[in-house]
Amino acid sequence: MANNIHGPLYYERMGRTGPVITFIHPNPMDQSCWIFQMAHLSTWYRCITIDIPGYGRSPKADADLTMEDMAEACWEAIDDALPGETTILVGCSTGSAIAPYMHHHRPDKTAALVLCGTGYSPGKEFAKRRIDAYTANGIDYRWAYTFEDFSPAFRTTPLAHFFANLFTERNDFADLETILHQFRALQKPDPDDHHERVACPTVILTGSEDGAHQSAFALQERIPDCELRTLPGAGHACQIEQPWVFNRFMIEFLAKHGLFPGTPKPAVVLV
């Protein structure tokens, strides 16, 4: 079992055939934020969405929680659901921070990385802001925080309120201390070569209205051969705001790299 986590992580599955895609959610959401991707991509893939520690229906974690612990726990969930499989890893925000650690744990089992709601922030100032906000407001901060993950235009919609209510209706299952432990883990510096060692096809999908949008280009520069697509008008959780664009960009990326069922593998050029 992964260290510092009180049991196996909760996950949901959809799709019975095809390659495997694993989705890892942002704070303050849970695995349900991928509902549009699960409904669509399960046409061709076996999809698994995971609640990270302290969220949804996953267990608590200890104060010594690390990024490596969360990465290993996610792999254990994949092993439980689909043992021995290679997977495409898809993350948003915190999920995008965990996914490269997962790749480094098992590079031979990582087919590709799809990252959104992310960028390169060497000082990781965001973590302190969230720790301070959760400390001041408690677990109920999740409701207001959900709207911060959306663009200003989307925040006013009934669908934004639906998702904010959906996540916070599960507050009885969430654990504030574990969420704080997660942000403290996120605060710690990544290894110097953390991004440079990514050795699989990678794309960043970034909303133009995301506060992390400009730093997404800096992250792209750090990951070898990384691609980037912008979702105009979308915020941090762009997979919720514009699933028709997000899913199309993701499918185009996977098809380009021979990872969409029915598309040929790219030719290997011998030098």
pLDDT digits (tens, 9 = 90+) for 37-71: 999 999 999 999 999 999 999 999 999 999 999 99
Q: What is the pLDDT of residue 266?
A: 77
What is the rounded end-to-end Cα distance, in angstroms, of the chain? Answer: 43
Confidence band for 253, pLDDT divided at 50, 70 and 90: very high
Mean pLDDT of the chain: 96
Pairing of strands 46-50, 11-14: antiparallel
CA 136 to centroid of chain Cα atoms: 26
Fold of the domain spanning 11-256: Rossmann fold (3.40.50)
**Which pLDDT tens digit goes with each residue over 137-164?**
999 999 999 999 999 999 999 999 999 9
Other CB atoms within 10 A of residue 191 CB: 10
pLDDT(263) > 90: no
**Which pLDDT tens digit goes with each residue over 203-217?**
999 999 999 999 999
State if pTM tops 0.85: yes
Confidence band for 244, pLDDT divided at 50, 70 and 90: very high
pLDDT(268) > 60: no
Angle at which helices 125-137 and 141-148 pack, to 10 degrees?
150
